[in-house]
Chains A and B, each alone.
With several copies, the nearest count.
Chain A
Amino acid sequence: MHNRLKTKFLGFEVRSPLVLPAGIMDMSFSALSISTENGAGIVTSKSLTLEPRTGHKGPVVAEFEGGFLNCMGLCNPGIVDGLAEINEFKERSDTPVIVSVFATNVNDFLKLTEFVNTSKGDFLELNLSCPNVFDEFGIPLAASKDEVHKIIKAVKKISELPVIAKLSPNVYDIVSIAKAAESAGADALCMINTVGPGMLIDTKMVKPVLFNKLGGLSGPCIKPIALKLIYQTYSDVNIPIIGMGGVKCGEDAIEMMMAGASIVGVGTAIYYRGIEVFNKINNEIIEFMDENGYENLQEIPKLEKLLM
């Protein structure tokens, strides 16, 4: 990997600013490996829950112009098997791993944290925002700044790893939630999770395309929403942001950084550009730096902080 792509994130030196986000090509140690081999600098596990989950029945993905709906339903092998995969990955790779976990209450988050403490993971990410389990769990945690604060505060007390809060875009006031996370001790923010949710209908069969009816939006079309929320948040917090949502090319990644992201997630774009997307974007970032006279990522300016 090119030296000019090196960056620091929470004390780790990473060889590329590109992150494999939670839930995308990360169910097994080998899935994590292939992203790193293709240029990702950090990888995130699927959001793990205490018990295994088979997820929603299919169809679980649906394409539309500009993106995808998904309602995977947090399928995962459970924290024990999930961490085993992560440990197996870490035996083969020194790429930092973010362990994503999902729960609906403080107690379960604490139990998950204890498991993660025993693993070889490098960061703990709290998925506070999964919109695909509304039915089951009600309003997402990430919509309540008090809940967010409470959970992070509790987790931070026992976590041996830096804690990242993954925020939902589907809230009125992202800044107050981000600040709640920061003041509770979160070491970084990850934003955004999927947008919406949305729905599509099969007009011949008069049925929702997704069996779960609703799915979160990801892919290129959510980029403007991600940029807005990241920019807004960056102006008001002092912890680093993992920016994601619709990044598909080098310019998109640069946009994220200018909006305030320290490192950048690339998820759905794997569909559009293949698993090689990480290296492609790495190269495009270097081209951008060449064309615009930046020596390294640290020189890439942030957008002026402005009132929204």
Chain B
Amino acid sequence: MNKRITLKIAKIKDEIKDIKTFSFKYKLNAKPGQFIMLTDFEGGEKPFSISDCTKDEFSITIKKIGEFTSRLFQKDVGDLVSIRGAFGSSFFISNGKVLLVGGGYAVPTFYFFSKILLESGANITLINGARTKDELLFVEKFGKLGINLINTTDDGTFGEKGTSVDIARKLLVSKLQQNQLVSKPQLGDNSRFHPATAGWKRENVDKFDFIYASGPEMMMKALQGVIGEIEYEFLFERYMKCAIGICGSCTVDPLGIRLCVEGPVLPKKIVEQLTEFGKYHRDASGKRILY
């Protein structure tokens, strides 16, 4: 679906400092994990994950980073922007017991995804991580979904103390050990793990059927180290230009698959083969940038 459609911004919500959610009245028909390309025709067209999508409305949640997103932050309700999409692969819709691990501006896509997962009857545990309280996203929205929500901050200013991966490790490693798996993840410091304070029920997280992650690449890389044998899907970001699979900007080594078509959501068996995962990505010229 590459049709371009120009839409009025229907709603703008300040989430936290430098992150806003923009909503549009349009039947996008997206699947969770997919993204759109957004432009204001003033220079730049950029990919954004879909943070909510109902029958006649959708939202994207954007972090102000550079030139394009800064210009976007000056727009008002009623201003026009133009989108293409939705593009790319989407998350597998499990109906089992699933763990969602998210960090930063990449978390909101899990809001849309959680709603779909709930419809299919999944049991969801979501680790919503940020460095500090002021950077935690969608706390209220996730809270209202009735999922096992584990908010966590690196500095402990809200929810659990520790990174998303720290929390995931606690949940998964105990499980891995139960199952006596061969892979031996490095445990690190588990002392910051306080299940009692989390509003999440210990018994629910015993055995996960599927793990999903969306966040900084190094978070996902670390997470991969503690997952063991469980099936997973990660949402990747790479520089995107065409979003229709012809320009080659977004391919990942060594497979050459395109994150705008075969991604951005990649399954375990693909992720395991990626040599660039957590090592480097490419800039607008195609030059490698080390993480």
Contact = CB atoms under 8 A, between A and B. Distances in A.
Contact of B246 (A59, A85, A205, A271): A271
Interface residues of A, number: 50
A286 interface: no
B171 to A, nearest CB: 34
Given A28-B256, A30-B256, A59-B39, A77 B80 contact: no
Given A78-B285, A81-B288, A204-B6, A28 B44 contact: no
A76 to B, nearest CB: 6
B167 interface: no
A207 B244 contact: no
Interface in A52-89: 52-55, 57-63, 68, 70, 72, 75-78, 81-82, 85
B82 A202 contact: yes
Interface residues of B, number: 40
Contact of A55 (B37, B42, B251, B285): B285
B285 A75 contact: yes
Given A202-B82, A211-B41, A54 B248 contact: no
Contact of B258 (A25, A57, A75, A209): A25
A53 B287 CA distance: 9
Given A53-B285, A58-B45, A205-B80, A30 B253 contact: yes
A225 interface: no
Contacts of B41: 59, 202, 205, 207-209, 211
Interface in B251-291: 251-258, 261, 282-288
A119 interface: no
A82 B255 CA distance: 18
Given A25-B247, A205-B80, A52 B44 contact: no
Interface in B73-127: 80, 82
Given A76-B285, A202-B82, A34 B4 contact: no
Interface string B32-51: 00000101111111100000
B190 interface: no
Nearest to B5: A204
Contacts of A25: 245-248, 251, 256, 258
Contacts, number: 147
Contact of A54 (B45, B82, B244, B283): B283
A75 to B, nearest CB: 5
Contacts of B249: 27, 75
Interface in A201-232: 202, 204-205, 207-209, 211
B257 A34 contact: yes
A29 B253 CA distance: 8
Contact of A72 (B3, B247, B253): B247
A81 B37 CA distance: 28
A237 interface: no
Among A25, A72, A270, the most chain B Cβ lie within 10 Å of the Cβ of A25
8 contacts: A28-B253, A29-B254, A31-B251, A54-B284, A59-B37, A61-B243, A75-B285, A204-B82
Given A34-B251, A55-B241, A274-B261, 4 more contacts: A24-B246, A63-B2, A75-B285, A271-B2
Interface of A: 23-35, 37, 46, 52-55, 57-63, 68, 70, 72, 75-78, 81-82, 85, 92, 202, 204-205, 207-209, 211, 267-268, 270-271, 274-275
